Amino acid sequence: MSHRKFSAPRHGSLGFLPRKRSSRHRGKVKSFPKDDPSKPVHLTAFLGYKAGMTHIVREVDRPGSKVNKKEVVEAVTIVETPPMVVVGIVGYVETPRGLRTFKTVFAEHISDECKRRFYKNCSARLCPMSSIQAPLAGGKGSLEAGNEPHPHVVPVYLPLTPQG
């Protein structure tokens, strides 16, 4: 019997299978935090892009460790967070099968680079029948020049407490 695993061990972790190209460049939020009526109205998500990696030298504060109060070099990830602008509001209606988009209203101050993401005629109005509203937040593009041709637009959940 041969011992192949010693001369050519497996390449990479099985946790990253299947190895394939990503279906979308922009990630998606799987779930938003629960609404807390005691907190003020606030946005619950923000766009961030991985710009690269570097290393830092920091002092470790871990009592009982060999490297306690010593300087170590660690890898860090640089996350680029370009400024975001609210470009519209999406109204949702609660149905027996979950939330369904009802109407979308766009702002009047949308920049030309952001308009390329939308249809030509977007004259929709938000109706009072919609029970949940989420602002459409669009990033202003990448901070690095020429990295992204037009900004990503994502709905961001806005926790609103019912009045009554």
Q: Where do the domains of the chain lie?
A: 38-155
Q: What are phi and psi of 108, to 5 degrees?
A: -90, -15
d(CA 160, CA 43): 10
65 band by pLDDT with thresholds 50, 70 and 90: very high
73 or 102, which is more confident?
73
Task: Give the up-direction half-sphere exposure of residue 116: CA atoms within 13 A in the CB hemisphere.
Answer: 9
The predicted-structure confidence for 6-40, as pLDDT tens digits, reads as follows 676 778 888 888 888 888 777 777 888 888 889 88
Taking 90 as the threshold, does the pLDDT of residue 55 lie above it?
yes
68 band by pLDDT with thresholds 50, 70 and 90: very high
pTM over 0.95: no
The predicted-structure confidence for 139-152, as pLDDT tens digits, reads as follows 555 555 455 556 67
d(CA 118, CA 2): 60
Class of domain 38-155: alpha beta
d(CA 28, CA 136): 14
70 or 33, which is more confident?
70
Which residues is 95 bridged to in the sheet?
98
Asked if 160 and 41 touch (Cβ cutoff 8 Å), the reply is yes
pLDDT of residue 86: 82
128 band by pLDDT with thresholds 50, 70 and 90: very low
Least confident stretch, 47-51, 93-97, 117-121: 117-121
Centroid of chain to Cα 15:
22
Sign of torsion, CA 77 80 84 89? negative
pLDDT of residue 78: 94
Taking 70 as the threshold, does the pLDDT of residue 134 lie above it?
no
